[in-house]
Amino acid sequence: MAEEAKHLIDDKGTYSRVDPSGLRHRLRAIPDQCLAAWQSSQKLSLPGAWSSGSKVVVGGMGGSAMAGDLAADLAASKLSSASTLAPRVPILVVRDLAFPFSLDQGTIFIASSYSGNTEETIALFDQAVKAKARTIAIGSGGKLSQRARNAGVPLLHIDVSSEPRTAVAYNLMLILGVLSGLRLLDLDEDEATSAISSVSHNASVWSEDVPAVDNPAKRIALELMDNLIIVYGSGLFSGMARRWKSQFNENAKMWSFYEVLPELLHNSVEAFASPIGQPAMALILDPLTKDDVTSGAVVRKPGVDSTIHERHNRVILETLANHDIPRMVLNGDGSSPLARILNMLLLGDYVSYYLALLRGVDPSPNPSINAAKELLLGSG
């Protein structure tokens, strides 16, 4: 069965048959999109007074909100690296029709909607403008872009023709570029372009024309196949756990769940002794350790910093091992937090893509999501 699956994922005929719209080509273009987004964000001129913002809020749903999660994790990261990313203000993400806190003129609000027609994002945009918050809109058109023009709000255009979830990296680089331009995030041109260069290299390694024997993304998908996947993340990869889970849902059409350390050590571990009822795999996205990707055992390397995040990951790995729960550890690749974010983001895209092919399902369309949106419109 394993050899048959490996042949399937290396067969060019599989791609034309299962992926007729060519999602594989859109994944391969993501590094170029990151560079285009960064360059676009650098052209946006904002009032100098905005650099004194009291907080940054990103409002959106789905992939648009996901970009905000990743930006917040990146800014909050205290990893020791070449990067000096350090937040000057908190970065918050809102996924709802209303803000759970008050806005003021010191709030920088980024309304993000790929389509420009997301109900929740438009509602937040209207509230932010009314509160006189320092508002920026990100979208590809629709009602949000029109509202931004009418209100005289700065607008960044998402110049990507793809599924909204495939534009997350583009959206992320727009947000980071805005915050960098306002000096609310220490991220310069060299670090951004170096990170993009890193993910561009890995995209060539993970692409469909590289056989499974030399392709880590394909090998990971082969190991995860036929499992219920529970994704764990911490620190820099807290939001990334949600991202991987959602990509398993949307691309591979698989059930998957995610949790974040250290919270799960205070509740979820109590269930480890109970049978799950189907094959399962715990997938740990660990930004700190130097573990090799492994299944069923943890291979530690010397020289790992003893940090609080490393201790959390060590505890969850030992707990999983004590209950004989299969597990796999994945590390980001890159010399900076941004490089690790972008590489892990694209790796998740490719792994979920290959899982879709192994399952024989077209990864591009999301009929259930579209049906749910139609129901929402009909119940309004």
Q: So where are the chain's domains?
A: 2-18+203-359, 42-187
CB crowding 21-37: b at 16 or more within 10 Å, else e: eebbebbbbbbebbbbb
Superfamily of the domain at 42-187: Glucose-6-phosphate isomerase like protein; domain 1 (3.40.50.10490)
Task: Provide the pLDDT for residue 353.
Answer: 98
- pLDDT grade, residue 380 (50/70/90)? low
CA-closest candidate to residue 265, choices 327, 325, 320, 324: 320
Q: Are 59 and 103 in contact (CB under 8 A)?
A: no
Superfamily of the domain at 2-18+203-359: Glucose-6-phosphate isomerase like protein; domain 1 (3.40.50.10490)
Q: Tokens in use for 335?
A: 């010399």
Residues 6+ apart with CB under 8 A from 256: 228, 229, 230, 231, 244, 245, 248, 249
CA-closest candidate to residue 175, choices 164, 162, 184: 184
Task: Provide the pLDDT for residue 87.
Answer: 53
How far apart CA 345 and CA 63 sit, in angstroms, is: 12
Q: Do domains 2-18+203-359 and 42-187 have the same CATH topology?
A: yes
**Encoded amino acid at 67, one letter:** A
Directed axis angle between helix 2-10 and helix 337-359, to 10°? 110
Task: Provide the pLDDT for residue 1.
Answer: 57
Residues 6+ apart with CB under 8 A from 191: 82, 83, 336, 338
How far apart CA 199 and CA 11 sit, in angstroms, is: 25
Task: Provide the pLDDT for residue 78.
Answer: 41
Task: Please return the burial class of 14, using the count of CB atoms within 10 Å of its CB with bins 0-12, 13-18 and 19+.
Answer: middle
Q: What is the pLDDT of residues 24-52, one digit of tens each?
A: 999 999 999 999 999 999 999 999 999 98
Model confidence, pTM: 0.91
Q: What is the pLDDT of residues 236-265, one digit of tens each?
A: 999 999 999 999 999 999 999 999 999 999
